[in-house]
Amino acid sequence: MFDGLKNKLNSFREDVEETAEEKEAAESETPSDHDASDESASDAADAPESTESDAAASSDAGDASGDPDDAGHPDEAAPSAAADPSESDASGADEDAAPPTAGDGLAADEAAAALEEETDEESGPSRLQRAAAFATGKVIIEEDDLEDPLWNLEMALLESDVEMNVAEEILDTVREKMVGETRAQVQTTGELAESALHDALYDVISVGQFDFEERIADAEKPVTIVFTGVNGVGKTTSIAKMARYFEARDRSVVLANGDTYRAGANEQLQKHADNLDQKLISHEQGGDPAAVLYDAVEYAEANDIDVVLGDTAGRLHTSNDLMAQLEKIDRVVDPDMTLFVDEAVAGQDAVERAKQFNDAAEIDGAVLTKADADSNGGAAISIAYVTGKPILFLGTGQGYDDLERFDPDRMVDRLVGGDE
């Protein structure tokens, strides 16, 4: 599921790692680049301790935490660390240049935090911050460093059918979470990139999520759920899967065929009802769908049924007819929930349709079918953000049990970080 997208997202981590490595190498080779014009660096050179060129210099950077105003300490450490690149590498074997201890790391963290105030929002990390971070073996990510990886990420998202605004939102969040961040030795640049991407995806994917089971439990019986969406995307199959889902949770169901427009719709749903040993309420083709659903609710009330699952037409003469029909169903049975069904493989089309259906007859959530056949994942990532309504279920195959509660956490873990 979503393997193409997953691979592309993993490239972002690699891209950032590569960029950071290049930057680290460049900074090691030209230590004075940043600080050539830094007055504090030359001040520091005058200070007596600055003559030390061994590992003590690194711990001096830690000392800076005691006096963040003392610009000399962090700056002076930069050239010495740069003189031997191994000093900026915790795994360095140089005995004289022992890697900073955990204590050093903490002190350095405090120093970096104190120096954070020096950051100019516009121009990124200050020279002091850079020097302190560099002296302690950290690299500060700057906006320029992310330009190429973010460009590649944007292309990957768009190629994967992620809606444009959603892609922009993801990029903004990743940028916000990474720029100015230091790569501590406990967190590699790759991990930082991964966690920023993880958070950014979670933010868009989890929009509007609610506890479906709790909503069902809290609603008055019978709970009426109406399914909307165009023909052929798996709407009828999803209703049958939902019947199985509720049955497995000890909730009785009745099916209702509100698709009185399409020839064969009754037979199709009847077949599922027979397979699942469930009752179907239907009328003749051409009948009033609102009347079918009304009858189903009455049947449920009379027979102490917990849930009514109502199909609707996916296409009528005009979309106005379709929307008028959905509005009438809304008026007559006042459903507890309207779920929009579409197929993951439809990508941007599914996102656009979700928006149109939600605008015309407000939906409460979405069921995304054929996720098992979708490599791109664009619809799965975009629908909630675009409509403000959550994806609640994923269809993952043709069997009745191939329905999965959509869990944003699990979804993001799947996409970033290699779970499943």
Ligand X SMILES: Nc1nc2c(ncn2[C@@H]2O[C@H](COP(=O)(O)OP(=O)(O)OP(=O)(O)O)[C@@H](O)[C@H]2O)c(=O)[nH]1
- Beta-strand ranges (E) seen in 344-407 are 365-369, 391-395, 403-405
Nearer to ligand X, 172 or 267 (CB): 267
Residue 271 CA to residue 294 CA, distance in Å, equals: 22
Structural contact between residues 343 and 259, judged by C-beta atoms closer than 8 angstroms: no
Determine if residue 372 is labeled as part of a ligand binding site: yes
Determine if residue 235 is labeled as part of a ligand binding site: yes
Q: Which residue has the tokens 């992620």?
A: 162
Nearer to ligand X, 50 or 238 (CB): 238
Nearer to ligand X, 76 or 374 (CB): 374
Determine if residue 355 is labeled as part of a ligand binding site: no
- Min CB(161)–ligand X separation in Å: 17
Nearer to ligand X, 108 or 230 (CB): 230
Determine if residue 312 is labeled as part of a ligand binding site: yes
- Min CB(254)–ligand X separation in Å: 18
Nearer to ligand X, 88 or 266 (CB): 266
Nearer to ligand X, 30 or 398 (CB): 398
- Min CB(371)–ligand X separation in Å: 6
Closest by CA to 363, choosing from 344, 335, 382, is 335
Determine if residue 218 is labeled as part of a ligand binding site: no
- Token reading at 50: 């600055």
Residue 235 CA to residue 258 CA, distance in Å, equals: 12
> Quick one: how far is CA 246 from the chain centroid?
28
Determine if residue 208 is labeled as part of a ligand binding site: no
Determine if residue 236 is labeled as part of a ligand binding site: yes
Determine if residue 204 is labeled as part of a ligand binding site: no
Structural contact between residues 325 and 289, judged by C-beta atoms closer than 8 angstroms: yes
- Min CB(185)–ligand X separation in Å: 45
Please list the helix, strand and coil fractions of the chain in percent, rounded to the nearest 5, in that order.
Answer: 55, 10, 35
- Min CB(259)–ligand X separation in Å: 6
Determine if residue 189 is labeled as part of a ligand binding site: no
Determine if residue 229 is labeled as part of a ligand binding site: yes
- Min CB(386)–ligand X separation in Å: 21
User: Shortest Cβ contact with ligand X: which residue?
Assistant: 395
- Token reading at 31: 């230590």
Phi, psi (deg, nearest 5) at residue 341: -110, 130
Determine if residue 370 is labeled as part of a ligand binding site: yes
Nearer to ligand X, 192 or 366 (CB): 366
Structural contact between residues 377 and 402, judged by C-beta atoms closer than 8 angstroms: no
Nearer to ligand X, 10 or 237 (CB): 237
- Min CB(385)–ligand X separation in Å: 22
Using CB under 6 A as the criterion, which residues of the chain lie in contact with ligand X when the complex forms? 231-237, 268, 314, 369-370, 372-373, 395-398, 402
> Quick one: how far is CA 159 from the chain centroid?
17
- Min CB(243)–ligand X separation in Å: 13
The torsion angle over the Cα atoms of residues 333, 407, 382 and 212, rounded to 10 degrees, is 10
Order across the sheet with 403-405: list the strands: 279-281, 253-258, 307-312, 223-228, 337-343, 365-369, 391-395, 403-405
Half-sphere exposure of 186 (CA within 13 A, CB side): 8
- Beta-strand ranges (E) seen in 222-375 are 223-228, 253-258, 279-281, 307-312, 337-343, 365-369
Binding residues for GTP: 229-236, 311-315, 369-372
Binding residues: 229-236, 311-315, 369-372
